[in-house]
A and B are shown apart, each in its own frame.
Chain A
Amino acid sequence: MITIEGLTVSFGAVQALRNVSLVAETGKITAVLGANGAGKTTLLRSISGLKEPNTGTIHLDDQSLVHKRTEDIARLGIGHVPEGRGVIGEFTVEENLRLGAMMAKVNLSQGLDEQYALFPVLGERRKQHAAKLSGGERQMLAMARALIAQPSVLLLDEPSLGLAPLVTQQLMHTIQSLCESSDLTVILVEQNATSALRIAHHAVVLHVGKVVANDTASAVSADENLRQYYLGLVE
């Protein structure tokens, strides 16, 4: 479970997040929605320690994450699939996965088998350089790389970006089944609000760094006033 209270993050004079509070419950998918610049990516980067907050607290269960180093936070079981996926093009698919498995005390071959079972395409291309993969395949690779370490929390930054609708659908389906089968806490940042809301249990809507909605996914879906925020129709 991830608990965030009163989080304020600024870049110089610009405030990216203002007094944000939310709870991502264990075993549930929490969607974080909002237009460009709403602060969604900053939120994930703050959790992962890539950006120091000005004030506020971030807790993994009862452990504080603020002021910890990114690599230490990752080793606590937080898997972060960043914006743009961060797949290392010069490495093969398998090397990317090996890298992901390194910090965890998992059996490498077992982990690889599991991920190849989950994403058969990766298994077929295991010796290929990651740069040669398609957008959807890279997304799978990035996720598999995060999953192979058996994290307890999964942070996903716009996984559907640049992907065809069908692929997005499959992706969301995969995320949903993953969450259901293990006790994974998922924070799903998405601009594609519709697909996200379909699989999420809980939803938070950000608007220029502030939380404007924090409710169950169905409630947020139903609320027509909220649509303007995550469809980017408000200044």
Chain B
Amino acid sequence: MDPFLTSRIVTDVLGGLTNGVTYGLVALSLVLIWRSTGILNFAQGAMPMFATYLGFALLSYHFGYWPCVVACVIAALLIGGLTERLLVHRLYGKPEINPIVVMVGFLIVLEAVAAAIWSSTPRSLPSPFSSIHWQLAGKPFALSPFIVYEFATALVVMAAVAGLFRFTNLGLQLRASALAPEVSRLLGVRVGRLLTLGWMLSTVVGVITTILVSANFFSGLTPTVMDGIFAYGFIAAAIGGLESPVGAIVAGVLLGVVNQFVTDYVNQDSVIIIALAILVVSLMIRPSGVFTKSTQRRV
């Protein structure tokens, strides 16, 4: 068993899954915002990054890891809510270009301001679990306590989001606001507030992802830490179809595995090129995504 578990293929698959869940989480947030507000949030990586910096700024006041995480979540709620109220709110109903341009601008500003305040030097975040990989019969195994924590967290988040949407009244209202905003308002649903909530939730999912990523990659937290992951998350969301949360997650995970194999068998540089090629091919085959059903929205 051991030789199998430490074999190249398994190592690549596990490594790929590790990255893949982060892509899946980013893709999920993108899909959530797309479905509820029709906006593609290019700042989906930068907003949580900023929240992470804010939350972990408490480290210098001798707060521990978990209190900082709580602070990050609070910061994420604030940033998500404020962004929706102040920025996004004005973009509803505008031509498609406007939100794209504004969110790209927002991405640049957030990264620049973060670098201005905290510099671009990577910061290492404390980690509640060891990142040292386990050994099996003397050979390195692809998992470490931290990676298991990462998987577990990702699964919990995905399950929580799924549960929220499927089983709760709030989730029903969120789905209704996304599918049929006008009808929902006629039924007394406070669509405006729910949209804000949607952005807040999305940013919280993002901040959890950022915390995991910043601690795992030995390079730590930088203003641009989420750039690559956002790119792959977007590609996954686009391939899976911006309409489908499940498709987004699945595409993200698969993309992570593919990337890992490409890194291993080809080289690091080719990863994004191949991902781009996959994106182009899948969009040529199914321009609205692989997992999108063409159902009518309102009857």
Contacts and interface: CB of A to CB of B under 8 A. Distances in A.
Contacts of A50: 182, 185-186
Contacts of B296: 89, 131
A90 B298 CA distance: 8
A71 B298 contact: no
A95 interface: yes
Interface string B142-178: 0000000000000000000000000001001101100
Contacts of B82: none
Contact of B190 (A71, A91, A104): A71
B138 interface: no
Given A88-B180, A98-B172, A131 B299 contact: yes
Contact of A131 (B184, B191, B295): B295
Interface residues of B, number: 22
Q: What range describes how many residues of A lie at the interface?
A: 20 to 34
Interface in A120-135: 130-131, 133
Given A84-B298, A95-B172, A103 B188 contact: yes
B191 A87 contact: no
Interface in A57-96: 69-71, 74-75, 80, 82, 84-91, 95
Nearest to B183: A86
B299 A130 contact: yes
Given A102-B169, A131-B295, A86 B182 contact: yes
B57 interface: no
B43 to A, nearest CB: 28
Contacts of A87: 298-299
B297 interface: yes
A82 B297 contact: no
A70 B295 contact: no
B101 to A, nearest CB: 27
Interface of A: 48, 50, 69-71, 74-75, 80, 82, 84-91, 95, 98-100, 102-104, 130-131, 133, 138, 145-146, 149
13 contacts: A50-B185, A69-B185, A71-B190, A86-B180, A89-B297, A89-B298, A89-B299, A90-B175, A91-B175, A99-B176, A102-B173, A104-B188, A133-B299
The 10 closest A-B pairs by CB, nearest first: A103-B188, A86-B183, A74-B188, A70-B185, A89-B299, A75-B188, A80-B186, A71-B185, A87-B299, A71-B190
